[in-house]
Structure 1
Amino acid sequence: MMLIRDHKNFMLGLVMAISFGCVFAGMFMPWFGNGRSAFQASDDLFNSISKGSTHYIGFLRENNQAVEHTAVAVSLQFSSQEVAQQAALLLENTGNVVMKDETSLEFSGTLGSMLSSAITDSDTAFYNDEATLMKRYGMLPKVVMYRWWQTLKETEKALKRQKMFPEAVVVNAVILKGVEVGYNYFGIEPKRASNSYGILSFALIFYVIYTLWWGYALYHLCEGVGLAMKGGSKKEV
């Protein structure tokens, strides 16, 4: 049976632990707007802020000028007939597209034209403009972005096989800073950290206080049952 050696410290620790648990449980409740828990609301906030600093479209358009008139002819292989047909739909206005068989196609044209279309669609997805992409391709924005990812990955591989390494680097930049950003952040409203400093400051201060709260609860509980850390004494030989 646990013996309480310091009733005052033990009760203080117990009250702190219980109140900590109540607040923690409350953070799981849908009380933080639109049926969200505190954790979901904070995730949405930080995702919005991180999105606000990931708009690289201007850089990509400038970078694309290096391959604006670079002629390419690449064979692209896909996992299914449906994916190949959707990839062909993305590319049909950027160059000459010929279906080789059910799951592969040949693209010939300028690399700049292909990448410009991918950049434009990435920018459209970044700003959550579902209607434009649906009208353009008849596909949901995340499907469009995923098909661009597959298409450009295949293009990058084909260019490397042709020893066109600088061009492959430009393609990779569009994948990482355009297509993946458009896919990952679709549906999230971008915000600037400077416009949310109040809630960010509160979140940081709350995190520090809440962490200390639990630490002191454990400290007082341990003190209450006689568990205390003491420095060891050094014995002289």
Structure 2
Amino acid sequence: MASSAQLKTKGLLLLASFFAILFAIFMPLFPGTHGEKINGLDYLDNFFNQLSKSSAYYIPEQMKKAEKYNGQQFTTSLKMKTPEEAAVTAKLFTTNKITAAAEGDKVKVSGDFGTMITIMLKDADAMYKNDGQALTAKYGVDERQTVYSWFQSLAAMEKDMTKAGQFEQAKFVKNCMSKAIEPAYNYYKVEAKPVKEEIVLLIASLAFYVIYTMWYGFGLLYLFEGLGIKLDH
């Protein structure tokens, strides 16, 4: 059986090495996506974002569902957050030959509902594939602002449709927001990677997380036992 001194030494060594590794994790020692050096947390955050992006691509599915609404005329007044945002949103619609006019913080829009949604989904698809320059060239507006404005437009549509009892359309619009617009915005500039191509690093990172957590726990356990402090359930 180990003596108190041995337990304290073992505990201190484990904790010292734990914090040494923690310090290294927060140092810019890891490769970034553009050749720069980043810390370990940012590296793993980007790594898991790349893996999750490859399994969050539902835009083609939503485009297929949008075909159901082709030919359905739709007129509404979309309430935006600010008059400036309304002006930008109106510009997005009119660029795509959809009748729209900004009136204060509202955008009165009229046109084919299926066509409107398809336009938004195509823009989201470009954003998802990191082709933001295509949107900037098309609208003369920052690509993130474009997708954000489409999100706000859909949010206003979904709210109005729910009030009008158009629950099927409202559900479809909400799915477009959560399965197309949001991922396109959140994953912009993240390069997707299939899990099967990074399975070794994935397993290694998860194993490290488990071992590293236990490392700290055993360090405290040995240190406290060496000090005569018993840890009971």
Q: Same fold (TM over 0.5)?
A: yes
Higher gyration radius (CA): 1
What is the distance in 1 between the residues matched to 2:206 and 2:179? 29
Question: Matched residue of 2:76: which SS?
Answer: strand
For residues 35-46 of structure 1, the aligned pairs below 5 Å read 35-46=37-48
1:57 maps to which of 56, 59, 62: 59
Question: What is residue 129 of structure 2 aligned with on the other side?
Answer: 127
Q: Secondary structure at the match of 1:196?
A: helix
Q: CA deviation at 1:229?
A: 4.4
Shift of the alpha carbon at 1:54? 0.7
Cα offsets for 1:159-204 (capped at 9, x unmatched): 2333322112211111111111111111111111111101111101
Return the alpha-carbon distance in structure 2 between the equivalents of residues 24 and 18 of structure 1. Answer: 10
Going from structure 1 to structure 2, the CA distance change for 1:132 and 1:218 (only over 3 Å counts) comes to: same
Q: Which runs of 5+ in 1 are unaligned?
A: 232-237
Q: Distance in 1 between matches of 2:167 and 2:190?
A: 34
CA 228–105 in structure 1, closer or farther in 2 if over 3 Å, else same: closer
In structure 2, relative to structure 1, the CA distance for the partners of 1:10 and 1:133 (3 Å cut) is same
Structure 2: any 5+ residue segments left out of the alignment? none
**Alpha-carbon separation, structure 1, partners of 2:228 and 2:105:** 72
Pairing of 1:107-146 with structure 2 (within 5 A): 107-146=109-148
1:10 — aligned with what?
8
Counterpart-to-counterpart distance in 1, 2:160 and 2:98: 16
SS in structure 1 of the partner of residue 37 of structure 2: coil
Q: Does the C-alpha gap of structure 1 residues 71 and 214 become closer, same or farther in structure 2, counting only changes over 3 Å?
A: same
Which ranges of 4 or more aligned residues in structure 1 deviate by more than 3 Å? none
Residue type of the partner of 1:199? L
Q: Contact between 2:7 and 2:222, CA under 8 Å: does it hold in 1?
A: yes
AA aligned opposite 1:59: E
Give the distance between the partners of 1:133 and 1:230, measured in 2 at CA: 61
- TM-score, normalised with respect to structure 1: 0.90
Alignment: residue pair count:
226
Q: What is the root-mean-square deviation of aligned Cα atoms in Å? A: 1.6
Query: Corresponding residue for 2:154?
Result: 152
Alpha-carbon displacement from aligned partner over 1:115-150 (angstroms, at most 9, x marks no partner): 000000000000111210111111122111110011
TM (normalized to structure 2)? 0.91
Per-residue CA deviations over 1:198-235 (Å, capped at 9, x if unaligned) read 1111101111211121122112112212223479xxxx
Alignment of 1:19-38 (within 5 A): 19-33=17-31, 34-38=36-40
Percent identical among aligned pairs is 29
Partner of 1:98: 101
Alignment of 1:77-92 (within 5 A): 77-92=79-94
